[in-house]
């Protein structure tokens, strides 16, 4: 009798604390680090609680960028084109597009006649 390998779904096995994948954890930490700048500024003027709230908001934004995907709906033009893709991939592509000075290169196929 032969043995066969059954493919396993490894998605979700690299999660830390059940909700954080490694990518989401990195984006959350970066968001918290950016929020810490605002925390220290608000802490200097005596508004520590406002700084903590802003820090949590930036951490949540980082988590959302690293975890969620753009919904696939037909109502808006942007969701028609990018539906189902990760938000961080779209942001990376936007930065690359801006770096190329808003140029899009399209490969045109020439019409050839087979005679």
The residue ranges of every structural domain in the chain are 19-68, 71-103
DSSP string for residues in 24-82: HHHHHHHHHHHHHHHHHHHHHTT-HHHHHHHHHHHHHHHHHHHH-B----SSSHHHHHH
The pLDDT, as a whole number, for residue 2 is 76
Contact by Cβ (8 Å): 26, 66: yes
CA R_g for the chain: 22
Which residues in the chain come in under a pLDDT of 50?
none
The pLDDT, as a whole number, for residue 57 is 92
Number of Cβ within 10 Å of residue 33's Cβ equals: 13
Contacts of 68 (CB under 8 A, 6+ apart): 86, 87
Residue from 28, 33, 38 nearest 88 by CA: 28
């Amino acid at each position: 009798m032969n043995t066969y390998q059954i493919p396993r779904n490894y998605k979700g096995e690299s999660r830390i604390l059940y909700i954080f994948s490694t990518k989401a954890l990195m984006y959350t930490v970066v968001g918290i680090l950016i929020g810490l700048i605002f925390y220290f500024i608000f802490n200097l003027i005596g508004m520590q609680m406002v700084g903590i709230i802003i820090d949590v908001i930036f951490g949540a934004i980082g988590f959302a960028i690293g975890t969620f995907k753009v919904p696939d709906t037909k109502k808006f033009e942007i969701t028609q084109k990018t539906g189902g893709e990760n938000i961080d991939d779209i942001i990376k592509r936007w930065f690359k597009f801006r770096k190329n000075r808003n140029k899009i290169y399209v490969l045109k196929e020439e019409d050839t006649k087979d005679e």
